[in-house]
Amino acid sequence: MLSVAAVVAVVLNASAHRVSDGEGAPAILNVDTLVSVDAVTVSSVKQTFDLSEEPLSATLLDAKRIDREGIKGVKDVVTSAPNFFMPDYGSRMTSSIYVRGLGTRIDQPVVGMTVDNVPIADKNMYDTMLPDIERIEILRGPQSTLYGRNTMCGVVNIYTLSPLKYQGIRVNADYGSRNSYRIGASVYNKFFDRFGISVAAQFAHCDGYFRNMYDGSLCDKENSGDVRMKFQYRRGALAIDNVLSLTALRQGGYPYEYAGVASGEEQHADLLGKICYNDDASYARLGVSDGLTIRYDWPRVSLASITSYQFLDDDMRLDQDFLPLSYFTLQQARRQHDVTEDVVVRSKSASRYQWMCGAFGFYKSQQMSAPVNFLPDGIDRLILANINQHSGYNGEYRWGLADGTGGDHLWLGSDFVTHTLGWALYHQSSLRAGAWLFTLGLRLDGETVQMRYHNSVDSAYTAFPSGGGNPYEVRMKIDDSDILSQTFIEFLPRLAISVDLGAAKRNKLYLSVAKGYKAGGFNTQMFSEVLQRRVKNFMGLSADLDVADIITYRPEKSWNFELGGHFSTRDARFTADLALFHIECFDQQLTVFPEGQTTGRMMTNAGRTRSFGAEVSFAVQLHDFLTLNGSYGYTNARFRKFVDGENDYAGNRIPYAPEHTLSARLTYEIPLQLRWMERIVLGVGTTAAGPIYWNEANTLRQPFYALVDGSVRFEHRRWGVDVWVRNAVGTPYSVFYFESMGNRFLQRGKPRSYGVRVMLNF
């Protein structure tokens, strides 16, 4: 009832307090009611200075650019940052991010993410639409000292609009190709100049872009909804923020088209270039998050506490063979609870010496059910054929249910309960000496993860002896349980030196050395392979196996060296950021598909890799109303040492990370002296990436490709209308490739799309 009352109060009072344009009329947020990027003082609890002062690579997007480009989430913005790549493949569960040659498709990410200072505990929640984003910061390079595990390549910090800064009602609606639409509304209100409440909600739908030729349906249909409530309180030195959010998603997905066999004779030539599978492939997600930030500022010291609880309930279902055959299906249903606590104490004075100390802890409890259901084709071709080939005699096995009546499926049950407890102590000191700034960061990070697994098979097979004896039935019952645990403790230092070059505020050079770290874990998706080996062992056709050896993988560590600078002219009409980097990575975690007719995918550790490259981003005010923004990144990421048991890939490029990334956008404003329209904004841009290698052997790749987009925007203080187009020239490209059971599959990038977006402010 409290939440309902709060919503009613916000709506009733929304028109009482608004950001004013100086004439009493409410100013639309996207027209300069917020300060520009260069003037923004970083509000992150953990950043000591303005980001232009920090010795690191960063990309910042302000409210105006976010609004004009229709940015609603991370996938909409990553192309603006050099060497930062988040492909749109699979489903919203597959939130893979690649930075400077490092990244992975499953399990722990290389990039962290926070929303209003609250860390997102699971990468499955990264790809979420967020209404009313005020600012986005993309920090590249290791952020492990301040943010800990799984930030070895950077952090994305997102800040949403504050009801203490803006008051009013905002309504927006989008409609585009494939019957895609999004409807959103938000209300912001402030009471007594101390207490602010906002409520934002949106719903989105898309019919889908890719057609499943098996039944003619669009396989990537999607519905999603998000609600966010923000409470803010200010009284003297005390600041309290609480953000409660709810997100729900239901989508098809996995539009993987058949691309032939990896080797041998073609078996499904009629399916080449087609998406054609017969079983369910979908993803559903429900997420709840509540983050409480309490901050108190004394004259010289600031104390902040960030507490969060996050709940995730998601369900992935796959037709794992992605063919119109009945091989097997996979389900991964999970419920997860996360609690985090971060306490930060930092200096506030303007003295030459600044410091920060912190303590962080988290607890994660996860329950997962991941059964694999083998169907007739899978039983015949993946199990029986293998068994008969190695049985030692020309017998034939037929599967049946435990009661001997026969059956057409084999159920491999896998259930897991995982508990993870982590802690960290960290410190950062910064000392100014004239034009020089010296920064030292230290973090001690610990984590213990324990997994209790339960694998089960309850079936029977019938043997037909080749010697002519009577067939007989053998009951097969496998019930396998155990507990696995791992503990990781890591020391993470960072040292940076920067010098002010004078001439303009942003002219600085910096040099940094930092250690990156990503925790190890368990290959839960390999338990289907473990169970298949158990079945063979039950029949005496294979040796027993060490489950821990197959399931566990080690932490990933790196040393990062970076030389860069921030530059601008005195009038700030030109700004640029440059960086050169070199990364030595040890035990890099790679997602691989086991060779042959196997069914799982697993995380493995490459012995050693290295990556070096360069990146530049810039903004140029070519004219009072003409602006050019651009970025370019180059990455040369290769294996130094990686032998998968059969092949030596030393010297080859690391898969899935693009060698080049590029973006450029030209914006032209046409001011109008009309009562009903204030300006027209024309925008045209391009984003490009590639080449991207699809396998460790570097025999397959996506060549360099570029996409063109454009928009025409009509603006007024009370409304805005955008007409936009993406992939305007219909460039064909692929975003994902993999092999499964000896077959190749591709996912194509989205084709040309266009639409209109309307925004209203009251």
Q: What is the pLDDT of residues 566-595, one digit of tens each?
A: 999 888 899 999 999 999 998 888 776 555
Dist CA 217 CA 126 (whole Å): 28
According to DSSP, residue 80 is labeled: G
**717/197: higher pLDDT:** 197
Q: What's residue 594's pLDDT? A: 55
Residue 671, pLDDT > 90, answer yes
- Among 4-13, 462-471, 495-504, 594-603, the least confident range: 4-13
Residue 36, pLDDT > 50, answer no
Half-sphere exposure of 453 (CA within 13 A, CB side): 24
**600/646: higher pLDDT:** 646
Q: What's residue 315's pLDDT? A: 94
- At residue 455 the predicted structure's pLDDT band, cuts being 50, 70 and 90, is confident
Dist CA 592 CA 622 (whole Å): 47
- At residue 11 the predicted structure's pLDDT band, cuts being 50, 70 and 90, is very low
Provide, rounded to the nearest whole percent, the portion of the chain with pLDDT above 70. Answer: 85
Average of per-residue pLDDT across 664-677: 91
Residue 33, pLDDT > 50, answer no
**Mean pLDDT, the chain, as a whole number?**
84
Q: What is the pLDDT of residues 65-91, one digit of tens each?
A: 888 888 887 777 767 789 999 888 878
CB 109 within 8 A of CB 85: no
Residue 512, pLDDT > 90, answer yes
Give the DSSP letter string of 140-160: ES--HHHH-TT-TTEEEEEEE
**34/553: higher pLDDT:** 553
Q: What's residue 382's pLDDT? A: 73
Average of per-residue pLDDT across 212-220: 92
Secondary structure (H, E, C), 88-129: CCCCCCCCCCEECCEECCCCCCCEEEEECCEECCCHHHCCCC
Residue 710, pLDDT > 50, answer yes
Residue 99, pLDDT > 50, answer yes
Half-sphere exposure of 318 (CA within 13 A, CB side): 21
CB 199 within 8 A of CB 173: no
Where are the extended beta strands (E) located within 90-140?
Answer: 98-99, 102-103, 111-115, 118-119, 133-140
Average of per-residue pLDDT across 640-657: 87
- Among 465-469, 480-484, 510-514, 639-643, the least confident range: 465-469
Distance of CA 261 to the CA centre of its chain: 30
Residues 6+ away with beta carbon under 8 Å from 364: 121, 336, 337, 338, 418, 419, 420, 421
Best CA proximity match to 528, nearest among 413, 377, 418: 413
**353/538: higher pLDDT:** 353
Residue 305, pLDDT > 80, answer yes
- At residue 522 the predicted structure's pLDDT band, cuts being 50, 70 and 90, is confident
* Site of tokens 């009309």: 674
440 burial (CB, 10 Å; 0-12 / 13-18 / 19+) is middle
Beta strand 521-522 with 472-500 is: unpaired
- At residue 7 the predicted structure's pLDDT band, cuts being 50, 70 and 90, is very low
**CB atoms < 10 A from the CB of 402, how many?**
14
Amino acid letter for position 301:
V
* Site of tokens 């998601």: 314
H or E segment at 337?
strand 328-347
Q: What is the pLDDT of residues 369-428, one digit of tens each?
A: 988 888 888 777 777 766 666 554 444 555 554 444 446 778 888 898 999 999 999 999
- At residue 542 the predicted structure's pLDDT band, cuts being 50, 70 and 90, is low
Beta strand 195-206 with 84-85 is: unpaired
Tokens of residue 714, six digits: 């009509």
Residue 245, pLDDT > 80, answer yes
Q: What's residue 374's pLDDT? A: 83
pTM attached to this predicted model: 0.88
Dist CA 465 CA 396 (whole Å): 7
- Among 1-15, 152-166, 208-222, 525-539, the least confident range: 1-15
Average of per-residue pLDDT across 704-711: 95
- The domains of the chain, with CATH numbers, are 2-761 (2.40.170.20)
Q: What's residue 378's pLDDT? A: 79
- Among 192-201, 315-324, 361-370, 460-469, the least confident range: 460-469
Dist CA 632 CA 578 (whole Å): 10
Best CA proximity match to 254, nearest among 293, 281, 286, 225: 281
Q: What's residue 97's pLDDT? A: 87
- At residue 504 the predicted structure's pLDDT band, cuts being 50, 70 and 90, is low
Average of per-residue pLDDT across 525-543: 66
Query: What is each CA distance from 571 to 16, 33, 35, 224, 574, in whole angstroms?
Result: 38, 21, 17, 44, 8
Q: What's residue 351's pLDDT? A: 85
Q: What's residue 482's pLDDT? A: 87
Amino acid letter for position 204:
A
Give the DSSP letter string of 426-439: EEEEEEEETTEEEE
Q: What's residue 488's pLDDT? A: 93
Tokens of residue 557, six digits: 């560590």
Secondary structure of residue 46 in the 3-state scheme: coil
- Among 43-47, 313-317, 640-644, 667-671, the least confident range: 43-47
Q: What's residue 60's pLDDT? A: 87
